[in-house]
Structure formats: structure tokens, C-alpha cells
Structure 1
Amino acid sequence: MSRHNHNLFDSANAYSMYGNSRRSDASSMSDEPFPGPREFTLPLHTQTSSDRISSSDFNESEEQYTHSRAASSTFQRSSKISSATSNSGDYGDATNLVAITEGQRLVIAIDYGTTFTGVAIVFVPVDEKTAKLSDIKVLREWNSSYNEDKVPSAYSYTKPRASEEQWGTSFSEDAEIMVYTKLELDAQESVIGELDMILDNLDGMKDLSSEYVVSSKGEPDYTPKKPDLVVLDYMKKIFERVWKYLGVYDQALLLSLPVDIIITHPVVWSYRARNATYRAVTLAGFNGDKFPRLENIKMLAEPEAAAVYTARYLKEEEPDKTVLEKNDTFILCDAGGGTVDVVTFRVLETEPSLELEQIGEPHSRKCGSVFIDGEFKTWLRDELLGPDDYEKLEPNSKKRIKPHSTTGRKMRDVMKSFVEHKCRFTGDEKADHRFTIELPAEFEGLSIQDYVDEGLLKLDCNDMMLLFEKCVDEIVALVKRQEKEVMTKYDDQGIARIKSILMIGGFGESIFLQNVIREQMEVNDITIHRPATSWSAVLRGAALYGIDKSRLKNYVRTQRFPNYYAVARDTEETQGAGLAQYQDPITGKFMGKSRLTWIVHRGDLAFEDWNLSQETLLAFTFRENDEKNFTISIYKYLRKDNILPTRVRPNDPELENVLAIPISFSNVKLDSLDMYKSSGAREPYYQCVVSLYLTWRNESLEATVVWNNNVIYPVTAGGMI
């Protein structure tokens, strides 16, 4: 078995989740965190040459998405965390209820992950700032006989054969299952990611062949829906289960309680991915329509939640193993199915309650356990079976193997066995001498030297180590980088050295991963610790955060945009492709005049801080002697429907020009700009690309424009550029 350049995929239980096997909190692999710095993003919606288009993203009834006026969301960005917890415990089914009374409030925590999703529910007195962990009810009533702290983040559009629910763990034998969709929310941030998903859709729908279209009878197994809409359909199932759980309570009393909802997200995640999650959760039913006294919807970074819970759990539930004292510094490694987050915290106080402070910047990579499965599948196809035989396992996979895709019955059975072996893998050659996986009936007579005997696939310890290698190496590099940066930056500030690494998340339960990190960090006298409930640490921490909301400060308040907003600009088009065209005298290109790019949709997540908001890039061109003053025009759609116009027409009754943003490049030195010359241009020209951010503050729309890393609007002291 040789190494590949491909990444690897899964989160421990990601395939056994489709079968009957179950894992306890202490032995399952989960999902989690996320990647990449905030990137420049293209407009959310493509425009057409027709005069009107329909808003395609979340084309749901707006009535489903009603918030109370008091409701707002909060993105956790504070450097200090504090809360108070107690013990955990095994939470039973929905009949194990707590009594609720007037004077209480309801906290709902939602942890949507790459491979698993969980929901926690807490009833606490309105003025209570602390609660026991035993007060946190982790929902375990999912599909029929599946009762675990989390349910697989899996969904299928295949028609059920009998009573299958086609989500979570309940699937028909022939189901094509959408898995790891969370990864695709962030993949849309890049052009390559967008193109990759288009190719996946074409593969899944047989390149739109007429035979496939006819045979599907309008209900294809492979959905053409975008990832955010798949997440919405999945979250509707989650909400149904939560609503069923809450349905046993006195409804008049339940609906009279104040409600806080906490949604977790990866530590570094794009606005678009956060917005897609926020919209899916709220449109699914977690909104003011269902909860009339909804006060807050808050978004919380996963490591923040995990740190609060894990540190307190070790302090209160495992006092004989106490590893944290005042002024201690520790690294939290949240290793899930999709990504791995590494963050450093310092203990400010241990009594009367635990208080933590984040140190330095967090780091995140897409190197979670789902990438190990992808490596295994790549090896099966490229080195063992070959593309033709591999297609018997997983049709439509000759071109690419990716974690976020669909999976059929045969591959699910193979991967279920592989994941079970992967979860138990320790790296000990004696304990992990041989792993066997039974291939489907088509391979019954197949034998390949050293690897396959009459359809029985055999892997040894070295084979498994090679499959783990890339992910584990990247995680070790993340941890070492975090340690080095923190100690380099804070060594002269009297901050104690890092003594512990707390491992949480499904992949964090891997004995092999723990052993490798322990071996790599022993030279620095750093110890490894993992709480028994590490799989659900993020979920439980989010619930604690909701309980302790008055004690946690420094949040960036957010709301939802109440309207559709577009930027009007002249855009390059094919000659004759649309109305109101002209040939640009500067570039020689054919342009569509006053085209609308809808950068904000009604219900989108709105931040007061422009640094957290969606970025839209706008280009301005001019020649040396041209006027260099421009106006960015922002329009609001006045109608209640979502049939949005694509251009500004004179005296258009559907549009209102709500912002006219003046910008000027008059004082810019031309020799500092790039010069362009196109075949249709008579003389060279220059171009400046600015970033536009829309925010919602004090019930009004505001804009920020950034160029060359400087805010040029609103204008501060010193005037325009």
C-alpha cells in the first residue's frame, strides 16, 4: 500500500451509523470543526439574462421564518469564557422528563456536525446562572431503535420501500445517502469547490441522460438540490424530533417560557457557511413562529463550548485526575469527523466557578477522521481493485472520490466494517495484527496476493497506519504550531507553560491518535487527557453557555436581514445576451447596464460587525485622465415575494435606492496600480477592486467599503483616499 495525494474521510461511526451497531459516548467517533480563514466570496446568486429571476436559495415560505422582534442571534467571539456546571449522566428516552413550572426558561443547544448531530434541552429558572450537567437532557430519541446522544448527519431522497424514514439511521436497502453535507457548505466558498459540486451532481444524475430522467419518474435518488437545502431538509427532521419531545409538556406553559437557542459552528468558518446553517436551523422550525417568546439565537464556536464543558467536567467529575489549576494553560484539540480545531486556554479562576481565557489565535484544518475513509476508498480503487471493479462497489466514482457525496448499500457495508476496525485501531502490531473485511458477493472468488482471499479483504497494522498517517500528521502539526505560537508570543508575559492537551470530539477518542500526540509531546512534559463524554462535549458545553448567558460577555450581536438587498453595477455580458447593453469605451467589452446582484436575502444572518459579514467584490476601471469618483448603489426589494428583478429600470416601483455610497480614487498614485490593456481598448486602463460589506445595526442597513486593507467608507478623519 503506497501513499496518495488524496485526503481521507469519516468520523468513526459515520458508516456504522447506517447499521444497527451503536457506540457509547466514550467510544464513538464524531464530527465537528472547520477550516480556512475568511475568504473573499463571489455574490451568492447567479444572474440570468432574463428580466426576472426567482430566489433559489431557501425558496421557502417566509411565514415559516418569523422571529419575535426581541429575537436576535449572537456570534461568540469573546476571549473570556466562564460558566458553572456539574455532573453528566446517562439521559434516558423522552419519557424521562423533568417538571417545568412558570418562572423557568428553555435552552436548546444544536450541534450540527459533519457526521453526527445532537440536540440538548435544559429547563432552568429565569434567574439561574448555573446548572448541573444532569439537568441537561441530551435528546436520544431519534430513529425507531436508535438511542444515542447524536444521530448521523445523513439524508436520502430515495423513495422508501416500506417504513424507512430515509434520514439518520433509517434507510432502505437501495437508498442513495447524502453524507458529510456540512463540508459542502464551506466548499462553496471557492470556485473549485463550486465546480466540483456541479461535477458531482452531473455524475449523480448520470450527466442528465434521457434514460435516467425517464427512469427516475421525476424523483431522482441523487438530488439536484444545493447543499444548504439538503441541510434544511435534514434539520426539519431534527426539529420534528425536538418538537415531539417537547410535545409531552403542557403546551400553554411551554410556549409561555422564554427561549434561547444556541447553534454551534467551527472555529474558522465562512460567513456563507454560517449563514446557511443559521437559515437551515431557523427555517426548519427553531424560530419565533414555534417559540413565541424566543429571546436569542446565538452562534457559538465549537471549541469555546467544548472548553467550558471539558474543563469543568474534569474538575468536577474526575477530581482524582484534576489537571487544571489557576493560571494553568492547556490546549484543546477538538478532533471531529470533518475538521480539527486547536485552541489554547488559560485558567483564570477555579472557584467559585471555572473561568477561562482564550490565548492566541485558534487553528483549524480539514483533517478529521472522515478523510481516512476517503484514503481507504482511494486505495481500493487505484491500487487494489482498479476503476472497473471498484465501480461495482460505488457507481459513478471513476472520476473522483470525495467525503461529501452519496453512498450506496454495498459501499456502506464495506465502510461499516472498515470504520469498526478504524475505531479500535491502536497502532500496536500485536493487538492490531490483522483486520478483515468481507467484500460483496460480486467479489466472492476474487484473490489478490497479500490482500484479498476469496473475497475477504485483509489489512495489517502497517496498512492502517498508512491510512491514518496524513490526518494524524496534520493534527500533530496543528498542535505543535499552536504550542509554539502561544509560547513565543506570551512567554514574556508570565503565562505558565502549556501542561495539558484535552482531546475531545469523535476522532479525539482514537487511541492511535492519542498515542501519537502523546509520543510527540512527551519531550515537553505535556500530558493528554480525554473526558468520558468527549463525543458530546461541544453539545453539552453549548447548553451550559445558554444557561450562563448573563456571565459571558463580549459578544457580537446579530439579527436577521428583514429584506432583500442588491448592489447595482454594470457587468460584462455576451453581446446581445440582454437588454440595455453598451460597449465600454474603457475596456471595449460589452456590458449590461445597472444589473442587480442580490447579495443579501431576506432572513440572512446579519452581523453588526462588518468583519464577520459577507464580502462582495466590486471592480472599478478608469484611464489616466478619467474621472475617478464612483457611487455604489444599494437597492431594496419592496415586494413580499422572492421573484427578484435582475436590473434597475427607470422609476421601478419594486425597488428603492436605500444607499448611495461615494468612493473616490482621485488621490491614488497610478504607478501603484496594475495597468491593463485589452484588445478592444484604445489605451491602457487601471482597475481597483473593493470589498463591500453590509451590516444591520439599530434597525437600519449600513455599509462598509474596504480597499487595499483600508476602510474607505464610511469616511473617517483624513477623508477619501
Structure 2
Amino acid sequence: MYDYRVIVGIEFGATHSGFGYASISSTEDISFYNQWNERLRTIKAPTVLSYDDEYENVQSWGYPALESNHVELFKFLLGEMKNKPPLPREKAISDYLHELSKIVKEEICRRWESIDFYNQVLIILTIPDNYKISTWDIREYAFKAGLLNDCYSQNFKLITESEATSLFCIKYLKKCNLSIGEKFMVVECSDNTINLTTRMLLIDERLSVVLEQIKDNCAVDQELLKFLEQKIGSSAINLLRKHQPQQLQHLQSAIISFLAEFTGTQSESSLIEFDLKDHCPSITEYCEGEYHDNMVRDDWRIKLEFEDVKAMVDPVIERTIQLIDSQLHLRNNDCFALSLVGKFAKSIYFQLRIGETFNKRVQFISVPLHLESAIMRGAVLYGQNFGKNFIYFTNFIF
């Protein structure tokens, strides 16, 4: 018999992973581990590993692994890896979960010194929706990684990322009088994709899938890279991807954070300027030819004018609008609310455009707080209800 005291929600993500935790008696107070990177206080670490030449021993993982040749775990999960290294999928996933589990156990035992980790901690692991691995295999990987005491441990549950996100959104939508039988659409604009899923709230906070998930690869990251290529050249971008991916990621994150304040009104917009040497020091080595000469002339600074920003964000917004419109059309506008999540959902301009387009077709458009931690928060909420009402998901199409 398990006596759960703590819930841990682990996001085993396609590109980044992390975990949040809370006492089972109070999931309003969720904490997140944020010591992944000395430079950035972020709540997620890259889902990557770096091995020795024989792919036997892990040399580094997370942010440190980005500085060397590394394996991207999500490609194992999704079955899409090209030029696959001589590394069994089981080993790669178990190795990453092993490194992650060491941090999880250290953090939980630090906060609750007398806790019995294998009997008093309920672990909810989220995985990408289109994973290609059986749930039993993932359970075995978690056992080999040290997360579980045995393969049949009852304190370990799996849900998909979209299920966790939906539970996170429900918490806010219920405050807006979402009722049993009403439908809502979760619109997630993440680093590299747009994901839409329409669900219906059932009795006892169960959720059904009304329309299956739609996924599109249009994302603001891609549009930003197109802009950077115009300034420093595609060769420099490729070299940064290969040799200094962490610096490139830092530059992208810095620019995208400024894009969130863009309103789409020229009179309210100011010039955005970035010093590339501050955000991406290696760029001076990789930028060549005419691009190098131009950047030297500009003292390695790039400027984002009003039209530059619109050119980056408009394609993503237009595609998102098209996807939402198609889902609403299939349901004859029978949808109570849109819930906007993901990094790009922070954008003021994105929120305004979605609101202007759909405010007469749905009753409510929600932008919850804590968007970056939505999946982990949803996992913890699932764990809180697991021992009480047992939230589960019914997958059928009306």
C-alpha cells in the first residue's frame, strides 16, 4: 500500500526536459528545479546526451552536452533519426532518465529529508504525443534508470504532453465557467511546432478527445533563423548549429523574448538592437565574406525594424489562424474556449490577432499564467487527482 506524500511531474520532452514537484496535500504550491545551467535560471534542460567514441559511457548531458557531438533523444522517441549512431534506443533513453533521476531524487530528498522515495513519491512522466515506444518499454527504461524500485511499481504513471497541457488549461477554464459537456481547444505554439487538440470535459474531470491533434511545423524559431541568415549567412548558422548550438539557442531565446512585447502597431514599436558578440561570441569566427564585412561595419549589431518583426511573426500567426479556423469549422463553431499555451502564446501581437479573429466564434480565449511550465504543472495536477477521482482520457471522435 502506497502512502504518497509528494508528486513529481517529469516532462520528458522532444527538445527539453524538466520536473516540478509538490506536496500531495497542496499542489497550488508547485516548485521547479532550475539549476540546469549556471548562466540561465531555466526550468528545463535540453534532451540530449554526449557519449564517448564507443557510445558506451555518458560524458555529459543537458546543456553541457550541447558543447560537443551529441545525441538528440527526441529522435529516438519519434523514430525519425537519420544517420543513427550505433546506440540502442533502450540505452539512450535509459541513460538520459538515469541522469535526470539522480537530480530528481537529490532534490526531493533535500526538500523532504525523511521521505521514502520509492514508496512515498508519485511520479507522473509525460512523453511526446507521437512517440513510437510502448508504455511498458518506457516503464522498463525508467526502472533501469533508477526511477522505479521495480517494473511493476504503482507509483509511476504515464500521460502524453497534450493530456498534461489540457489538465493545466482546465484549471483556468473552470474559473470561466467551463461546464460538463462543453468543448475547448488547446492551441500550443512551441519552439518548433503548432499543436491543436479539441477536448470535451466529462463528469469527474475526465476529458475526451473530440478532434485528434493537428500538428504543423511552422514556428517563429524558423522565421527567426531566416532573418539571421540574411544578416550573417547560412554558412555561419550551420557552423553555429554544429559547433556552438548553445550560443545560437541563447541568441534565439533573447530575441524571441523581445518579440513577446511586439503589439503589431508601428507607433507603439521601437527599434530592437542586439549585440551579437554579447549573445553569440563565436559568430565572429564563423561569419565570412560579405556578411563578415557588413557585420564589422555595423560593429556586430543587428537591428530589428517593425517590418522585420512582422515578417517573422505573421507567417506563424496566419498559419495558426488557419488551423484554428479549420478545427472550428469541423465542429460548427461548437467550442466554448480557446486556450493559448507555449512560448509564443506570450506574444501580445499573437494574442491580439487571435482575439480579433475568433472572439465572436468562441465565448472565451484564455492565456494561462506559467506557460513554460504548463506540461509539468498538468502532470502534477494529474497526480493530485490520481488517488481521488482518477482523471483519465477517453479517446473517441464525435
Q: With structure 1 as the length reference, what TM-score do the two structures score?
A: 0.45
Residues 314 and 106 of structure 1: is their aligned pair in 2 closer, same or farther, counting only changes over 3 Å?
Answer: same
Query: SS at 2:159's partner residue?
Result: strand
2:294 matched to 1:447? Answer: yes
Residue 294 of structure 1 aligns to a residue in which SS?
Answer: coil
Give the one of 467, 474, 487 matched to 2:319.
Answer: 474
CA 1:180/1:273 → structure 2, altered by over 3 Å: closer, same or farther? farther
Task: Say yes or no: does 1:185 pair with 2:77.
Answer: yes
Q: What is the match of residue 287 of structure 1?
A: 148
Structure 2 unmatched ranges of 5 or more: 53-58, 277-282
Return the letter of the residue paired with 2:378. G
* Structure with max Cα Rg: 1
CA contact (8 A) 1:115 1:179 kept: no
Task: Give yes or no for contact 1:114–1:338 (8 Å, CA) kept in 2.
Answer: no
2:208 is aligned, of 329, 337, 358, to 358
Partner in structure 2 of residue 116 of structure 1: 16
User: What does residue range 683-694 of structure 1 map to in structure 2 within 5 Å?
Assistant: none
* Residues 1:445 and 1:362: Cα distance change in structure 2 (over 3 Å): closer
Match runs of 1:142-161 below 5 Å: 142-143=36-37, 147-148=41-42, 150-155=43-48, 157=50
CA contact (8 A) 1:343 1:358 kept: no
Cα shift at 1:238: 1.6
Choose the corresponding residue for 1:139, options 24, 33, 55.
Answer: 33
State the SS of the aligned residue for 1:134.
Answer: coil
Indicate which of 68, 73, 83 corresponds to 1:176. 68
1:536 has 2:381 as partner: no
1:243 lines up with 2:105 in the alignment: yes
Equivalent-residue separation in structure 2 for 1:103 and 1:278 (angstroms): 21
| Residue 127 of structure 2, aligned match among 259, 265, 271 | 265
- Cα distance change on mapping 1:345 and 1:185 into 2, 3 Å: closer
Are the aligned partners of 2:27 and 2:380 in contact in 1 as well (CA < 8 Å)? no
Aligned to 1:12: none
Give distance in 2, aligned partners of 1:235 and 1:419.
Answer: 29
Residues 648-698 of structure 1: CA deviation (Å, up to 9, x unaligned) = xxxxxxxxxxxxxxxxxxxxxxxxxxxxxxxxxxxxxxxxxxxxxxxxxxx
> Alpha-carbon deviations, 1:140-195, whole Å to 9, x = none?
454457655x2222546399xxxxx95445x49x9237586425632x3xxxx44x
Aligned CA RMSD, in angstroms, stands at 4.0
- Tell me, what secondary structure is at the counterpart of 1:242? helix
Q: Report the AA paired with residue 45 of structure 2.
A: P
- 1:306 paired residue among 143, 148, 165: 165
Match of 1:335?
189
Query: Is contact 1:260–1:294 with CA below 8 Å preserved after alignment?
Result: no
Candidates 291, 299, 307, aligned match of 1:462: 307
CA, structure 1 residues 282+341, in 2 after alignment: closer, same or farther (shift >3 Å)? Answer: farther
Offset at 1:244?
0.7
Q: 1:377 corresponds to which letter in structure 2?
A: L
Q: 1:143 to 1:517 in 2, by over 3 A?
A: same
* Distance (whole Å) between structure 2 residues aligned to residue 545 and residue 414 of structure 1: 35
Match of 2:353 in 1: 516
Instruction: State the alpha-carbon separation in 2 of the partners of residues 155 and 236 from structure 1.
Output: 13
SS in 2 for 1:487: coil
| Structure 1 residues 410 and 265, CA gap change in structure 2 (3 angstroms) | closer
- Name the structure 1 match of 2:279: none
Distance 2:300 2:222 in 1: 21
Residue 386 to residue 509, structure 1, CA distance change in 2 (3 Å): closer
Mapped to 1, the partners of 2:210 and 2:163 lie a distance apart of 13
For the 8 Å contact 2:200–2:209, the answer to whether it is kept is yes
Alignment-mate amino acid for residue 428 of structure 1: T
One-letter code aligned to 1:548 = N
Confirm or deny: 8 A CA contact 1:341 1:362 kept in the other structure: no
Tell me which protein shows more strand as a share of its residues.
Answer: 1
The whole-number CA distance in structure 2 between the counterparts of 1:256 and 1:235 is 16
Aligned match of 1:437 = 274
Paired residue secondary structure (2:67): coil
Asked if 2 retains the 8 angstrom alpha-carbon contact of 1:335 and 1:504, the reply is yes
* d(CA) in 2 for partners of 1:224, 1:425: 46
Q: Distance in 1 between matches of 2:351 and 2:247?
A: 32
Secondary structure in 2 matching 1:133: coil
Question: Is it true that 1:376 corresponds to 2:221 in the alignment?
Answer: no
d(CA) in 2 for partners of 1:346 and 1:409? 40
- Residues 241 and 538 of structure 1: CA distance in aligned 2, closer, same or farther (over 3 Å): same
Counterpart of 1:299, as a letter, is: L
Alignment of 1:23-422 (within 5 A): 103-124=3-24, 131-134=25-28, 136-143=30-37, 147-148=41-42, 150-155=43-48, 157=50, 167-169=61-63, 171=64, 175-176=67-68, 178=70, 181-182=73-74, 185-186=77-78, 188=79, 193-194=80-81, 197-198=82-83, 225=87, 230-248=92-110, 249=112, 254-255=116-117, 257=119, 259-267=121-129, 269-272=130-133, 280-289=141-150, 294-315=153-174, 322-348=176-202, 355-367=205-217, 371-381=219-229, 383-387=230-234, 390-391=235-236, 394-395=238-239, 407-408=244-245, 411-412=248-249, 414-422=251-259
CA-CA distance at 1:529 after TM superposition: 1.2
In 2, Cα distance between the equivalents of 1:362 and 1:346? 12
Distance 2:94 2:259 in 1: 31
> Quick one: distance in 2 between partners of 1:122 and 1:155?
26
After TM superposition, the score normalised by the length of structure 2 is 0.76
Separation (CA, whole Å) in 2 of partners of 1:499 and 1:135: 28
Sort the Cα spacing of 1:177 and 1:499 in 2 relative to 1 into closer, same or farther, 3 A: farther
Distance of 1:145 and 1:437 partners within structure 2: 18
- How far is 1:262 from its partner? 1.9
Cα pair 1:332 1:343 within 8 Å, conserved:
yes
CA deviations 1:349-381 (Å, max 9, x no partner) are 6xxxx625425222231436xx43333334544
Deviations 1:254-309 (A, max 9, x none): 15725543221334x142487886565443221225xx983153221223222223
Q: Which runs of 5+ in 1 are unaligned?
A: 1-69, 71-101, 125-130, 160-164, 202-222, 398-404, 489-496, 557-721
Separation (CA, whole Å) in 1 of partners of 2:39 and 2:196:
35
From the superposition, tell whether residues 520 and 224 of structure 1 become closer, same or farther in structure 2 (CA, over 3 Å).
farther
Residues 554 and 374 of structure 1: is their aligned pair in 2 closer, same or farther, counting only changes over 3 Å?
A: closer
Q: Distance in 1 between matches of 2:140 and 2:268?
A: 47
Change (3 A) 1:465 1:277: farther
Q: Which amino acid in the other structure matches residue 455 of structure 1?
A: W
What amino acid is aligned across from residue 134 of structure 1 in structure 2? Answer: E
Structure ranking higher in helix proportion: 2
Q: Cα distance 1:134–1:410, how it changes in 2: closer, same or farther (>3 A)?
A: closer
Q: 2: distance between equivalents of 1:531 and 1:122?
A: 20
2:390 to 552, 576, 579: 552
> Contact between 2:124 and 2:379, CA under 8 Å: does it hold in 1?
yes
Q: Per the alignment, do residues 499 and 275 of structure 1 end up closer, same or farther by CA in structure 2, a change over 3 Å counting?
A: same
CA distance in structure 2 between the aligned counterparts of 1:237 and 1:434, rounded to whole angstroms: 43
